[in-house]
Amino acid sequence: MIKVDDLSVNYGAVRALREVSFDAPTGQITAVLGANGAGKTTLLRTISGLVKPRNGDVHLDETNLIGMATENIARLGVGHVPEGRGVIEELTVEENLRLGALSAKVNLAEGLSEQYERFPVLGERRRRHCSTLSGGERQMLAMARALIARPRVLLLDEPSLGLAPQVTAQLMRTIRELCENEDLTVLLVEQNAKSALRIAHRAVVLHLGSVVANGDAQSVAADDDLRRYYLGVVVS
Amino acid sequence: MTAFLSSSFMHNIFGGLATGVIYSLVALSLVIIWQSTHVLNFAQGAMAMLATYIGMTEIDRGIGYWWCVIISVVVGMALGGLTERVLIRPLYGKPEINPIVVMVGFLGVLEALAAAIWTSTTRNITEPFSQIYYQDHGHLVFLSAFIVFQILLAIGIMLLVAALFRFTKLGLQLRASALAPEVSRLLGIRVGRMLTIGWMLSAGVGAVAAVIVASGNFGLFPTDMDGIFVAGFIAAAVGGLESPIGAVAGGLLIGLAEQFILAYWSPNVAPLGGIIILVLALMIRPQGLFSKSVSRRV
């Protein structure tokens, strides 16, 4: 379980996160929703140690992640798929996957065949440079690279960005399956509230760095005011 | 065939390659550091010189040539790692001119230090192989056992570095850290450690170049590596700074150009060989002959 407690982050004079607190339970998808600039990406980057908070704690089970180096947080089993996906374009598909497996103590050959089974298109393109991949393929690679390390926690930043609706739907199904089969804790940051709420168990809504709603996904989805004011979803 | 091998053309080819591989090694060492930390290490030559001087001190105590090479490379690597940790690490994220200024200063310190400890004289290592040119049926072939050794050693080091980057886990982590430091950290790679290792590797390669120079006819003077650094830097720039193969090719090109200018024009103009190639390369492909990137901040 990820427990975020009273977390505040400043960028100079700008308050990116204000006293954010919520729990992301094990084996569940917690959607983090909100408009551009709500602080969603900052939240994930703070959990990964890329951003130092002004105040507050983030616990992974019993371990406080605040103050730890990013690489050590990753080695604890926190997989972070950054916004824009972060595949290393100059490397091949397989090299990207090997990088994902390096710091985790996993069997590389097993891991590779497992990911190629899950995402067959990656197996077909394993020797290709990532600069030749399509947006959807890159997203799959970024997911596979995080999963090959057998993470306990998966932080996904806008996985649907720039993807066709069918690809997004497929991706969301995959995330849900993973979560249920592997007992993963997933934090899913999305602007696309609709598709995120469809698969999430819980939802946290951020607005200008503050939590304005925190509860199970269905009740957030059913709240017309929330949808209208914060999620940009037209209420039908 | 013998006539061809002993022709002055082939003399120049062999001579150019012999100098060229030294430039290539220096260029390669600069590219390794540039790729991993985007620092142009102006003290590269001086660091290599100091490492070799320490190796030579040991050879004076009666150890063999190969031990001297190994000690120089190990000392070079330690110096490289230490330099990254102590001098360069505090400067990451600062303006790009800062590490340049620091390394130019460090260059002066190292050369003064070498002169203070070992005096400003040329020192050389007894060469492990004969410098006498081969003969074929009475015709001189302008290759000596030493030149062959020098070229093979340099090629061996280059292949070793290439294999390390291409085929090992360490090489993959080094490349990833240089290409995408933040993503690499998110994958659990200890990027800071990789940068130190990059500097160590680079300084080790540089030390091999200095050892070869010190083993040659003319030995190694505390400031001798300055000119070699300039040629190596031009080679790296011609090759595109990001491309190890480009650096090696650039070094060979400059070595050959210098040799042919020396032979057919004037020894006084020979050092201009590198500059001429640089100007031509910048006119034809400003991003570097082997670089894939379209433009680069300067």
pLDDT in tens, B203-215: 999 999 999 888 8
Alpha-carbon distance of A127 to A115, in angstroms, equals 15
| Greatest mean pLDDT among A28-37, A220-229, B289-298 | A28-37
Cβ pair A50:B185 closer than 8 A: yes
Checking ipTM against 0.90, whether it exceeds it is yes
What average pLDDT score do residues B115-141 get? 80
Look at residues A125, A75, A120, A127 and name the one whose alpha carbon lies nearest to residue A101.
A75
Note the pLDDT of residue B294. 47
Helix (H, G, I), strand (E, B) or coil at A59: strand
Alpha-carbon distance of B75 to B92, in angstroms, equals 25
Contacts of A100 in chain B (CB under 8 A): 187
Note the pLDDT of residue A145. 94
Distance of CA B11 to CAs B132, B263, B292, Å? 14, 10, 34
Contacts of A82 in chain B (CB under 8 A): 182-183, 186
Helix (H, G, I), strand (E, B) or coil at A197: helix
Cβ pair B186:A50 closer than 8 A: yes
Contacts of A72 in chain B (CB under 8 A): 188
Strands A210-216 and A202-207: antiparallel
| Greatest mean pLDDT among A173-182, B59-68, B176-185, B265-274 | B176-185
Alpha-carbon distance of A134 to A141, in angstroms, equals 10
Taking 70 as the threshold, does the pLDDT of residue A233 lie above it? no
Question: Rounded to two decimals, what is the model's pTM?
Answer: 0.86
> A-side interface with B, Cβ within 8 Å?
48, 50, 69-72, 74-75, 80, 82, 86, 88, 90-91, 95, 98-100, 102-104, 145, 149
Which residues, in sequence order, are CB contacts of A79 under 8 Å at separation 6+? A146, A147, A149, A151, A153, A154, A155
> B-side interface with A, Cβ within 8 Å?
169, 172-173, 175-176, 179-180, 182-191
Helix (H, G, I), strand (E, B) or coil at B238: helix
Alpha-carbon distance of B184 to B175, in angstroms, equals 10
Cβ pair A91:B169 closer than 8 A: no
Cβ pair A98:B172 closer than 8 A: yes
Alpha-carbon distance of B217 to B130, in angstroms, equals 11
Query: Comparing A73-87, A147-161, A165-179, which segment has the lowest mean pLDDT?
Result: A165-179
Look at residues A78, A76, A79, A98 and name the one whose alpha carbon lies nearest to residue A88.
A98
Q: Shortest CB distance from B191 goes to which of A71, A80, A90? A: A71
Scanning every residue of chain A, which has its alpha carbon at the shortest distance from the alpha carbon of B166?
A: A95
- pLDDT tens for each residue of A116-156: 998 899 999 999 999 999 888 998 899 999 999 999 999 99
Scanning every residue of chain B, which has its alpha carbon at the shortest distance from the alpha carbon of A69?
A: B185
* B6 membership: H or E segment, kind and range: none
* Residue of A48, A91, A99, A157 to mutate, testing the B interface (most B Cβ within 10 Å of its Cβ): A99
More confident residue, B240 or B71: B71
What average pLDDT score do residues B131-144 get? 79
Helix (H, G, I), strand (E, B) or coil at A176: helix
Taking 70 as the threshold, does the pLDDT of residue B297 lie above it? no
* B241 membership: H or E segment, kind and range: none
- At residue B1 the predicted structure's pLDDT band, cuts being 50, 70 and 90, is low
What average pLDDT score do residues B6-31 get? 90
- pLDDT tens for each residue of A194-228: 888 889 999 999 999 999 989 898 888 888 877 77
The residues pairing with A80 across neighbouring beta strands, listed in sequence order, are A155
Alpha-carbon distance of A78 to B189, in angstroms, equals 13
Q: What is the DSSP letter of B220?
A: B
Look at residues B237, B275, B232 and name the one whose alpha carbon lies nearest to residue B29.
B232
Given a contact cutoff of 8 angstroms between Cβ atoms, the answer to whether A230 and A32 are in contact is no
- Cβ burial A111-142 (10 Å sphere, 16+ → b, else e): bbebbbebbeebeebeeeebeebeebbbbbbb
Note the pLDDT of residue B278. 85
